[in-house]
Structure 1
Amino acid sequence: MKGERREDIDWSQSRVIFVSPSFNNYQKESINFKGLHFELWDVKKFSNNTVFFNNIKQSKTVIDEIVVYNNKIMGDIHLQKRGLKLWLNTKFGAIDDSKGIAKDMSKTGHWGNGDYEIQISDDEELEYIFSLIKQVYKIKN
């Protein structure tokens, strides 16, 4: 590799991930440079053993977060312009979704962990959604 230049390497096949409790503005802006393929992940650990993984994306309107509690992934959150998607990390059929608001993703490729996908566009069903999250919490602990 001696004498290799940046142009000599196929960077499209490379993936570099930086993980840190925080990044400064210069580091966050660097993901917008063309030709540099890397990811920045903010990681925050709280006193109750909850860990948030926040993927800082080029588009400032899209952030992915993974919610971990006691070293177990509880779910994933994907923020969108007009709401968010929530994936609950459990097998489909393991929780009681009596209102049927969660979509079965068990046989479909998707971004998040788990078989339940919930599209949230307003606060109408938040209490009910929290009850589903509590069910996942009880399964995981």
Structure 2
Amino acid sequence: MAIYRLEKDKLTPIGEVKIDLEKDLQKITEDNLAVLFGLAFISSEFSLQKFRIDTLAFDEESQSFVIIEYKRDRSFSVVDQGFSYLALLLNNKDSFILELAKKLKRDVNNIHIDWSQSRVLFLANLFTVYQQNAINFKDLPIELWEVKKFNNETILYNQLKASNNSESINTISKNETIKEVSKEVHVYTEEEHFSGKPEEIKALYEEIRSRLLSLDNAISLKPTKIYIGFKAKKNFISIEFQRSQLKIWLNLSMGILDDPKNITIDVSNKGHHGNGDYEINLKPGDDVDYFMLLAKQAYQKNS
């Protein structure tokens, strides 16, 4: 990807510079986990059995562990290594919970982990075509991120994604480790959320989805067990499918939202899914234009 500096209508190429994966990249990533991935840092070089995890992190939103590895070697198998790390996690749950409790100063008895949303992130300067093709499954709990540093002190983190028509890894793999991990770890999809829901609810979601994504090309979808998140720099909208409505949370603190029609519900002091203090129950026939005015406020605050 070529990047240029624009000065007085003239383009000047911005050159790429070498980044030390084992030192510089790991430190930069760990120091900025919240900004980059919305994660909490737990440990660096966490050792267990014969494994050493480069970075152990925690996703507060999904209540799940995230393992991050920095790769210089371009010959490794992303699928084999990724599932080996996940098997290590699932077979040693107590050790990971104790590490979380110790580093984040949590009460072990109050820690609730969703093991089904565990995932592995591989970071490298460049991945081979074979490695990129290896993640071309819709339900793979493994992410590839290419990281490049430029001579204007800019760093680019770019996620390589599977194609939309990819199939399930469980339909083709006979690997026992993959089979065992897949029994507990699950990559959730949009289709699972609206499966079995009335057509009018699906149509309402599709309209909202289209309009939210049109706000910015950088907005991404993040299906979780309970809801579908719409993410700019942070999740700004979370949507849960119900039989007769969409329950939606706006990621804004109470008192910030301008809602003259007063259609939102204050959930700042209530237990709820999603992010933010505002909840909306949107039904077919409701004013989507007005909802978008509220959604744009959440987007602007989280982008």
Shorter chain as denominator, the TM-score bin is 0.5 to 0.7
* Structure 2 gaps, min length 5: 1-91, 94-112, 120-134, 140-166, 172-182, 191-212
Please report how far the alpha carbon of residue 16 of structure 1 lies from its aligned counterpart in structure 2 after TM superposition: 3.4
> Could you say if the C-alpha distance between residues 122 and 94 of structure 1 is closer, same or farther in structure 2, counting changes exceeding 3 Å?
same
When Rg is computed on C-alpha atoms for both structures, the one with the higher figure is 2
Aligned with 1:38 (options 185, 192, 195): 185
Please report how far the alpha carbon of residue 27 of structure 1 lies from its aligned counterpart in structure 2 after TM superposition: 4.9
Q: Is 2:108 the counterpart of 1:108?
A: no
Alpha-carbon displacement from aligned partner over 1:17-45 (angstroms, at most 9, x marks no partner): 266772336859xxxxxxx44332349xx
Report 1 or 2 for greater relative contact order, CA contacts < 8 Å, sequence distance ≥ 6.
1
Query: Amino acid of the residue matched to residue 218 of structure 2?
Result: N
For 1:62-101, list aligned pairs within 5 A.
64-69=227-232, 71-101=233-263
Partners in 2 of 1:98 and 1:14 — Cα distance? 38
TM-score, structure 2 as length reference = 0.33
Equivalent position of 1:119 in the other structure: 281
Q: Tell me the C-alpha RMSD between the 2 structures.
A: 3.2
> Could you say if the C-alpha distance between residues 37 and 96 of structure 1 is closer, same or farther in structure 2, counting changes exceeding 3 Å?
same
Partners in 1 of 2:187 and 2:302 — Cα distance? 28
Q: SS of the residue aligned with 1:123? A: coil
Please report how far the alpha carbon of residue 14 of structure 1 lies from its aligned counterpart in structure 2 after TM superposition: 7.1
Equivalent position of 1:5 in the other structure: none
Please report how far the alpha carbon of residue 83 of structure 1 lies from its aligned counterpart in structure 2 after TM superposition: 1.5
> Could you say if the C-alpha distance between residues 14 and 74 of structure 1 is closer, same or farther in structure 2, counting changes exceeding 3 Å?
closer
Q: Is 2:221 the counterpart of 1:52?
A: yes
Please report how far the alpha carbon of residue 84 of structure 1 lies from its aligned counterpart in structure 2 after TM superposition: 0.7
Partners in 1 of 2:169 and 2:244 — Cα distance? 28
Partners in 1 of 2:279 and 2:230 — Cα distance? 15
Q: How many residues align?
A: 116
Q: SS of the residue aligned with 2:117? A: strand
For 1:10-21, list aligned pairs within 5 A.
15-17=115-117
> Could you say if the C-alpha distance between residues 120 and 15 of structure 1 is closer, same or farther in structure 2, counting changes exceeding 3 Å?
same
Please report how far the alpha carbon of residue 15 of structure 1 lies from its aligned counterpart in structure 2 after TM superposition: 1.4
Q: After TM superposition, where is structure 1 displaced by more than 6 Å over at least 4 residues in a row?
A: none
> Could you say if the C-alpha distance between residues 109 and 14 of structure 1 is closer, same or farther in structure 2, counting changes exceeding 3 Å?
closer
TM-score, structure 1 as length reference = 0.66
Alpha-carbon displacement from aligned partner over 1:67-111 (angstroms, at most 9, x marks no partner): 101x22112110112121110001011011111110001011101
Please report how far the alpha carbon of residue 48 of structure 1 lies from its aligned counterpart in structure 2 after TM superposition: 1.7
Please report how far the alpha carbon of residue 122 of structure 1 lies from its aligned counterpart in structure 2 after TM superposition: 1.9
Partners in 1 of 2:230 and 2:278 — Cα distance? 15
How high is the sequence identity, in percent, across the aligned residues? 28
